[in-house]
Amino acid sequence: MAVNRNFRTCPSTGLVYHEPAEKLIRWNAVAGVVSLLVGGVLALLVTLTRWPAVKLLPPDWFYLVLTAHGLDMLVFWIIFFEIAVLYFAASTLLKCRLATPKVAWVAFWLMIVGAITNNIAVFKGDSSVMFTSYVPMGAHPLFYLGFILFAVGALVACFVFFGTLVVGKAEKTYNGSIPLVTFGAVTAAIIAVFTIAAGAIILIPTFLWSVGLVSHIDSLMYRTVWWAFGHSSQQINVAAHVSVWYAIAAIVFGAKPMSEKVSRGAFVLYILFLQLASAHHLLADPGLTSNWKIFNTSYAMYLAVLASMVHGLTVPGAIEVAQRGKGFNKGLFEWLRKAPWGNPCFSGMFMSLVGFGFLGGISGVMMGTEQLNLIIHNTIYVPGHFHATVVVGTTLAFMALTYFLIPTLFRRELMFPGMAKWQTYVYGLGMMGFSVFMMGAGTLGVPRRHWDMAFSGAALPHEFPGAAYLMMGLMAVSGVLATVGGAMYLVNTVGSVFFGKKIVTPDFKRVPVREGMAPARPPEPAVAPAGHGAIGAGGFVAPGTFVLAMVFLTSFVLYYFVNWKYLSTVWPLK
Amino acid sequence: MSAIEPPAQRVWWKQPLDRVEGTWIVIAFAWCMVMFFMMPYWHVYGKQNLSNEAYRSSPEAFLAKAQAMVDKHTVRTVTEQNIPVVHPVPGADVYLVARLWQWWPVLELEEGQTYRLHIMSTDWLHGFSLQPENINIQVHPGYEHVVTLTPTKEGTYSIICNEYCGINHHTMASKLYVVKPKKS
């Protein structure tokens, strides 16, 4: 069988692209961006409906649009883009051909068909069951079928990724160990495999139930297994966007990991402990014991939290070391002041890091505490938290990466470079405000997934305080701002990919290669492990980052105990 | 070697830790352990812990118990639908039915008294959300959850549903009255 092994070397970055892989990366990224476009329009509709002063949609449309928004953003946009990242991390970074491109196309089309089927089911109007589709509320069978087809496609794509790693190893396209970013991608893919397995365990019976072949599905069993899928899928995002942080630090600054051992060890902690963390969705449920809840959410979850705190230090730490090495060695923060804040690749990545840690991370751990969950569960605080993790964290990191990918992968110049500079700030700050105000409203008890906080038509309505209405109004204004930032991204990426100035290199050619990519480089001479030389202060190579980490820890500790204090004032329960 | 290239040393785990990393790992791990410790600690010394007591039940059985309580302890009715307001004996078992799209019946409890509140859904998932206290508990069909609670201050509270339960989810709201104990 003839294997297509055409490679090209990107003239500006030196990255090596395998032609079939390149095409797949592009198509998956484009499918992701199209989902983001659909999800973004829906996001605006949701925001304008929850804005008490606007209240745009009637309830049936609101719940339909909210369901579709959750699926298109949280599942289709993110996973399509993640598959692109996986192929990039395997094929491009290892300078290796993609294993079985044909199978990868099958995976792609399965995902497309699944995503479209699922969207059709939702927009038909009889599947407004939300992203979580809790039984016994039922959706149209096509809803589950679309979801399952998409998941099967994603699973196949993960195996194409693993296959590519095997090919790279066998054909010796790189020396020694895989790069850290690829290691992070492996973490994401491993988590994806057991996540999708959990999804299959719950969604296949639910599909059979929806067509009448299974008579009953227990609601608690559903929630328990569904969250093994639903929460773990967010951990794929975490592993993926942390890899993207490392990749951007490497691309923009040439940063190398402070120590490979720590960064890789933290990824391994994700694999080992994240799955258990899904139990924190069940803290307010009957029928599960406190021992079960505490073990799963704390003992195990905090090791995963530890991993995120480690990445939160080592990514900016690596940047600090690289910057100090370049001479920005004055004081604590010269390295940060002199960072390229006008480069959207960096500014997006850095806001993603800060927002994910301060807003998403602290709120997530707080509400994942067994007792504290009582004052948070199912309030709009919860979407406030996950918009900080998944949108500020993952989506913003992916947006930042896009600005790097357009010239190197699509070989087009950015159409509106000036707009790109501002886009990450408009989107990032809008989204951070959106998250914070949702958390504020949630603290005042405003429920999530709720059409009307004024309870119109209820016999015994509840009256929320004015502050809650204010929070929801501010949330909506920030949400509109974020939508503007999202639109700036979409206009720029779609415009550049289709109409941007082509980057033409005079002597560009694709190189056909028979065996592997190129002769393997000779192994480099063993270097004695060395420190980073005379940079930093007080024995620390990255003192600025350490100070930032301590600021983070202080906010974490204060916020955590403020919530305990607040809990101690509510009615005693046991 | 940067993070997108293979590590410089083949055996990368021999590369020593930076001091800043080692210090941070120790601090972060210690904080994780504090957070771990807080949960068991609160079970022993804290007053707000969600009950582990739950029973399998059926809608019929649960409704029958709630009906028996309503028949015995109704003191008045509210709204045009004549929803009964129940004033149970302090310390008693109290039943609250969650169903599309209603909490039934309305409860009137005494300040400072402790009640065993049984909550169950007879149809879909619902969310018990007591406002403005902001106590939130998931309500399942088929799981009778027994929560022991003590209202601390008289007033009119609301119970709203915060688990999406269909088109009229936003109308699923009720009251919970807390009154001063009657002088006997």
In chain B, which residues have their Cβ closer than 8 Å to the Cβ of A283?
A: 50
Q: Which residue of A has its CA nearest to B178?
A: A571
In chain A, which residues have their Cβ closer than 8 Å to the Cβ of B41?
A: none
B105 touches chain A (CB under 8 A): no
Contact status, residue B106 vs residue B86, Cβ threshold 8 Å:
yes
Q: Which of B111, B162, B176 to mutate to test the interface with A (most CBs of A within 10 A)?
A: B162
Does residue B114 surpass a pLDDT of 50? Answer: yes
**Average pLDDT in chain B:** 93
Q: How far apart are CA A53 and CA A76, in angstroms?
A: 31
CA A209 vs CA B124, B142, B165: distances in Å: 15, 18, 19
Contact status, residue B145 vs residue B77, Cβ threshold 8 Å:
no
Quote the pLDDT of residue B116.
Answer: 97
B 112-151 residues inside an 8 A Cβ radius of A: 123-125, 127, 129-145, 147-151
Q: How far apart are CA A94 and CA A233, in angstroms?
A: 25
Quote the pLDDT of residue A520.
Answer: 52
3-state secondary structure labels for all residues of A148-183: HHHHHHHHHHHHHHHHHHHHHHHCCCCCCCCCHHHH
Does residue B61 surpass a pLDDT of 90? Answer: yes
Which of A260, A456, A460 is facing B79, going by the closest CB pair? A460
Q: How far apart are CA A161 and CA A283, in angstroms?
A: 35
Q: Which of A177, A222, A372, A378 to mutate to test the interface with B (most CBs of B within 10 A)?
A: A378
Q: Which residue of A has its CA nearest to B30?
A: A306
Quote the pLDDT of residue A341.
Answer: 96
Which of A262, A449, A564 is facing B17, going by the closest CB pair? A262
HSE-CB at B19 with a 13 A cutoff on CA atoms is 11
DSSP run (H or E) holding B136: strand B135-139
Q: What is the DSSP letter of B171?
A: G
Quote the pLDDT of residue A1.
Answer: 42
**Interface contact B19-A59, CB threshold 8 A:** no
DSSP run (H or E) holding A382: helix A381-386
ipTM for the whole complex: 0.95
Quote the pLDDT of residue A525.
Answer: 53
Quote the pLDDT of residue A216.
Answer: 94
**Residues of chain A where predicted confidence (pLDDT) is lower than 70:** 1-4, 506-508, 513-534
Quote the pLDDT of residue A2.
Answer: 46
Quote the pLDDT of residue A524.
Answer: 54
Distance from CA of B72 to the nearest CA of A (A): 23
In chain A, which residues have their Cβ closer than 8 Å to the Cβ of B35?
A: 298, 302, 365, 369, 560
Q: pLDDT, tens digit, for every residue of B4-55?
A: 988 887 788 888 888 899 999 999 999 999 999 999 999 999 999 999 999 9
**Interface contact A572-B150, CB threshold 8 A:** yes
Quote the pLDDT of residue B182.
Answer: 76
- State the count of interchain CB pairs (< 8 A) between A and B: 329
Q: How far apart are CA B167 and CA A223, in angstroms?
A: 21
Distance from CA of A73 to the nearest CA of B (A): 19
CB-neighbour burial class of residue A521 (10 A; exposed 0-12, middle 13-18, buried 19+): exposed
Quote the pLDDT of residue A518.
Answer: 53
Contact status, residue A172 vs residue A94, Cβ threshold 8 Å:
no
Q: Which of B25, B34, B35, B56 to mutate to test the interface with A (most CBs of A within 10 A)?
A: B35
Quote the pLDDT of residue B1.
Answer: 53
Instruction: Please count the other Cβ atoms lying within 10 Å of the Cβ belonging to residue B26.
Output: 10
